[in-house]
Each structure stands twice: as structure tokens, then as C-alpha cells.
Amino acid sequence: MQERHQAQGSPSGVSTFLPSFAERHYTVAEVAALWNLSPDSVRRIFEREAGILVLGETGLTRHKRRYRTLRIPQAVLERVHRRLCTVVGG
């Protein structure tokens, strides 16, 4: 899977194709700081979003806390931002 991204340092409008693994991935803390939200809010927004990289235990256990690390690709961050910023017309 490849995503279209504007190349850094390229003239405006020039795009390159990057494999999804090579694009910038953000931590929950980075997105929380960018969007001025709590890390828990960011986790709730992104935990079931398609395209998120989830590392760690994903199964539910009865006595242990589930530890997972989320990495949010730039394309997913932009997609969710567009969706959340959609203005409802009236």
C-alpha cells in the first residue's frame, strides 16, 4: 500500500509515493500535544481507526492490565482530522 505525500523541501504541489511503513508515525503523546487533548482522549479517538499500528497485547485478560503501544501514521492522522473538522451545514 502506498500513500501520496508532499515531499519535504519540494515545490508546492509536487507529490511522491511512500510505502505506508515509511511515512511518519506519531505517538499518542505527540498527537495529544498537537491537538491539545489528553492522551486518553487520543487513544479513544484512534484505537479502532483503520491503519493504526498496534504493538503489544491485544487480547483481553481477566487479571492483567492490557499494555498496547499505538503508532498513528500521518495519513490516518490527516484523515481523522478532516473527518473531525467537517462542518455540519445548516
Q: pLDDT tens digits, the chain, 90 residues: what are they?
A: 444 444 444 444 455 566 778 899 999 999 999 999 999 999 999 989 999 998 887 666 677 767 889 999 999 999 999 999 976 665
CA–CA separation, 32 and 41 (whole Å): 8
State how many domains the chain has. Answer: 1
16 domain-assigned: no
Residue 36 within a domain = yes
Q: What pTM value is reported for the model?
A: 0.68
Range of the domain at 52: 23-84
* d(C-alpha 70, C-alpha 63), whole Å: 22
Nearest 5°: phi and psi at 9? Answer: 80, 0
pLDDT of residue 19: 73
The per-residue pLDDT for 2 is 45
Find the farthest-apart pair of alpha carbons in the chain and give their distance in angstroms, rounded. 54
pLDDT at 18: 65
For residue 12, the model assigns a pLDDT of: 47
